[in-house]
Amino acid sequence: MTDPVQRLAREVARNLGDGPGAVRRERQRAAVARLTRAPRPRAHAGWWLVPLAAAVLLAMFLARPATVSAPLTVTVAQQAVMVGAWLAAPEREALVLDFPDDSRAELAARAGARLTRAEPTRVELALERGALTLHVVAVPGRDWAVTAGPFTVALTDADVTATWSSETGVLSVEVHRGGVDVTDATGTTQVRAGQRLELRDPSAASDVLARRESLPPATDPSPAPTPVAAEPAANHSVTPQPPITRAAAPSRSTTRAAESSTWLTLAEAGDCTAALAGAARLGLSQLHRTLAAGDLDLLAHCARVTGDAARAREALLALRRRFPTDSRARTAAFLLGRIALDLDHDPPRAADWFNRYLSEAPDGALAADARRRLDELDTRR
């Protein structure tokens, strides 16, 4: 039996004969070439691309982030802080403000400030009392400023501690890295790394003097007693004797108590440099054995503010050793991590202290900050 496909092929060949002639084959080739050739673009074919591109560019322009007016996100313990908010550090613990560019502002214990501006081009803090330490990372087009009374501290890329006392009108500026410009009514002073500047507001000093002069003199409302002459006893003669007065010499314990009170007063007023010097005169080893937990914490704070890592570490270790159940002992672990990282530049030791703080206070006020710092240390490795 013949295959049907073969029969079909023979029938087609018989009908076609010898196929088309040379002229017809040439026409067929030309037709195939014309149909398979890529179409030539026409000049007016893409006219609609121009308005489409313009529409896309307009949409991108309108949807761009508002970099000028949009405020920065500032957080304290992962909670957003609004512009104008009053910030007050606890009595024995620092308050840390985090900014999106890894910059930080740390209010020392009992310090107070207000966030007055937080924009991509400028950040401003008004320091009302105590010490404020700034770690500012340079961002193109962004300026930072701290105002305290009539003074303004301007910076863009620096680590600086500003301490302000509204009672005495004294501003102390200590630069740890970079440089700052301090401006008042008399002009601008540049302060560079390793330098310390102290300025006094003359109006504040005159106000204190005026208040003192306005106080009425101390008076005793009771009338002075009338002296009564004593009658001499019979057969006895009385020879009046002048009164004997003796100035009591201050005891050693009294002097030491006065000096101890002095350094505490200076520390609470924010003059950490003078306070630390006064404490050193008393003997830091003795103070580590005798001070209360709160005063040890204050001594450590003054050492940290002045950049004295060794003295700050010794005070915090004494606090943890003598008062292990006090909440400040747990906070001391975090602060020891900060000292190791910021002052000693020892990341492994810093990580050990941050981990120890998290093991002792996993839900503490500084737990989020400790975890963030540990993540930063991991990325550096």
pTM of the model: 0.44
Total count of residues recorded for the chain: 381
Q: Please name which of 129, 184, 178, 189 lies closest in space to residue 155, comparing C-alpha atoms.
A: 178
CA distance linking residue 204 with residue 42, whole number of Å = 82
CA distance linking residue 136 with residue 265, whole number of Å = 30
Q: Please name which of 117, 173, 123, 174 lies closest in space to residue 148, comparing C-alpha atoms.
A: 173
What residues does 135 pair with on adjacent strands?
A: 104, 159
Q: Please name which of 83, 135, 128, 134 lies closest in space to residue 110, comparing C-alpha atoms.
A: 128
| Lookup: tokens for 363 | 């839900």
Q: What is the pLDDT of residue 209?
A: 42
Residue 102 is given by DSSP the state S
Q: What is the pLDDT of residue 33?
A: 66
Judge contact between 199 and 171, C-beta under 8 A.
yes
Structural domains of the chain, ranges and CATH numbers in brackets: 291-381 (1.25.40.10)
CA distance linking residue 336 with residue 237, whole number of Å = 77
CA distance linking residue 365 with residue 77, whole number of Å = 7
Q: Give the gyration radius of the chain's Cα atoms.
A: 41
CA distance linking residue 298 with residue 272, whole number of Å = 9
Report the chain (381 residues): mean pLDDT per 10 consecutive residues. Answer: 64 60 67 62 58 66 49 80 81 84 88 88 92 92 93 93 87 92 90 90 56 41 41 38 40 49 80 89 92 89 88 94 90 91 91 93 84 85 67
Q: What is the pLDDT of residue 100?
A: 84
Look at the block and give the residue holding tokens 């308005």: 51
| Lookup: tokens for 322 | 């003598």
CA distance linking residue 183 with residue 190, whole number of Å = 9
